[in-house]
Chains A and B, each alone.
Chain A
Amino acid sequence: MTTKISIQAAHKTFGSGEKAIVALQEVNLEIGSNEFVTFVGASGCGKSTLLRCIGGLESLSSGSIKVDGAEINGPGVDRAMVFQHYSLYPWLTVTENIKFSRQLRAGREELTSSDVEAASGRADALINLMGLNHVRDAYPNQLSGGMQQRVAIARALLPRPQILLMDEPFGALDAQTREVMHDMILHVSKLEKTTIVFVTHDVEEAIYLGQRVVVMAPRPGRVDSIYQVDLPEQRDQDMKLAPGFLQQKKAILTRIRETAGMHTDYELLERMTQQAAQQNDMQ
């Protein structure tokens, strides 16, 4: 597998002086072409920051991120991004949202007229692929959260990006919609041969989707450990109940708990129980 994204000694600090927060410390990682990598970790571990750095929305304090060997400099059409929500344009219809990038100069520069025709066909193909045909003229606020995210994904895919960066894209969806979206995005990654970097707080989602799961740890934000996922390439929802899957889920959850520096205060719970019991006795 050839390397697509190469992260070397990435460092990111927010603020300065005593209040400085180290969001990323010494992150080194290679992501392969057409790989599906998921990132999990306790809050504050820098997983979203790292994704935003790859997308070019934030810049590193030091270190480098290279795509195909060339250092990135700001956002680019080779790296599309899907956000958790509020990223669609409410004044445009579904079709207009999906075609948004075509009115940008960056998207037009190298196009010949036959490319433009192909792009028009591509918008239709994506609308079909995402099951959006019946709502193509609707406005985003008429759609459910799951449908809105399909539009956001289709819009990101339109200019055929080589890399798709996803920042908790299904975090606001209900469990059933999420399952549907999981199989959909796996299917898309195979068809489009896109490299996908996917940030989530849901470990089950991370294992189900990822070929590798990168666990990050907070204070300072860093890569803690990397888990290779041994599931058949063709995923299926029942696999989530297989012993191997559950074992890996447990291992990752335990690791995240250890790094989070947060735990249930059993002593406090015990005291609460005793107090409640005493009050009941007195009555």
Chain B
Amino acid sequence: MSSRNKILARWDSLWVIRGELSRRTYLMFALFGMLVPLAAWWGVSVSGWMDKVFMPGPMDVVSRAYTWFMEDELSHDIWISTYRVLAGFTLSAVLAIPIGLMIGTYRPVQAMLEPLTDFIRYMPAVAFIPLVMLWVGIDESSKIAIIFIGTFFQMVLMVAEDVRRVPITQIEAAQTMGASRAEIVSLVIVPSAKPALLDTLRVTMGWAWTYLVVAELVAANSGLGYSILRAQRFMQTDKIFAGIILIGLIGLTIDQLFRWLHRRNFPWMYKK
């Protein structure tokens, strides 16, 4: 076979449907996927096609982030936003997991709560802002409440679905071994659903971050979302870019943390 043919064959083997990719090749493609948009962005900004006010270049964004950090309160903004997201998210997880577990396990609870939850989750969280301000005021708890409203109802339904996906034979096997209902919940349903639950938390964490900006509309005077909104008023597009990218990076970090927890806690899923 000529070397040309060999290269063609290798190229073709990359496109096997659901094929395998070596770690090195995977990283190369991932890097390519990240660098192309970055390069395009940089290209557009240096070409002068677009006014810097509309499209700041990568370097403008980096230097803006630097001054934000040095002269303004970037680290405080990051901290307070992360705190709001984590508080709202934790509150919803602490309530949604037991409620979803009950919905997915006992039919009467499902009948009582699932249609109701389905109904509420279609109400736009943003529309609750005036009510939240009225009820909880304008301090930290109102921002946490908005994030909670945005994530909790979805989370309940997803947890219930995870619990319902536990194979019935796993439950019946425990029944024939004489397990009581409480034992089935604690020794079969919970451990069986755990990996799916952690994935649900990972996905809903993303939603919590999207509700952050909404939450910081509510009379905030700090935070990444608030800074983005204020930058809009002063036409500081570079700061808007910096804020958005920072939220993306924090989200990516937390996502990776969840994936790491998954591999660490459920080694049996990764052994073949």
Footprint of B on A, CB under 8 Å? 55-57, 74-77, 79-81, 83, 85-91, 100-101, 103-107, 139-142, 152, 155-156, 159, 165
Contacts and interface: CB of A to CB of B under 8 A. Distances in A.
B271 A83 contact: no
Interface residues of B, number: 23
Given A75-B175, A75-B176, A107-B177, A86 B191 contact: no
Contacts, number: 83
Contacts of B170: 86-89
A159 B169 contact: no
Interface of B: 167, 169-170, 172-180, 183, 187-188, 191-192, 194, 266, 268-269, 271-272
Contact of B177 (A83, A100, A139, A141): A100
B203 to A, nearest CB: 21
Contacts of A74: 175
Given A139-B268, A141-B271, A57 B176 contact: yes
Nearest to A142: B271
Contacts of A156: 176-177
7 A-B pairs closest in CB distance: A106-B178, A139-B268, A81-B176, A77-B178, A101-B177, A87-B173, A87-B169
Contacts of A103: 187
Contacts of B174: 100, 104
A169 B239 CA distance: 64
A155 B174 CA distance: 10
Given A89-B191, A104-B177, A141-B272, A81 B167 contact: no
B180 A106 contact: yes
9 contacts: A56-B175, A56-B176, A57-B175, A75-B175, A76-B178, A87-B169, A87-B170, A139-B271, A159-B177
A115 B167 CA distance: 32
Nearest to A84: B169
A89 B167 contact: no
Interface centre among A75, A91, A106, A159 (most CB of B within 10 A): A91
Contacts of B266: 91
Contacts of B269: 90, 141
B172 A81 contact: yes
Interface centre among B174, B178, B266, B272 (most CB of A within 10 A): B178
Interface centre among A89, A140, A155 (most CB of B within 10 A): A89
Contacts of A91: 191-192, 194, 266, 268
Contacts of B192: 89-91
A140 B169 CA distance: 15
Nearest to B180: A105
A186 B198 CA distance: 43
B236 to A, nearest CB: 51
A86 B177 CA distance: 16
A131 to B, nearest CB: 21
A259 to B, nearest CB: 28
Contacts of B175: 56-57, 74-75
Contacts of B167: 86-87
Interface centre among B170, B176, B272 (most CB of A within 10 A): B176
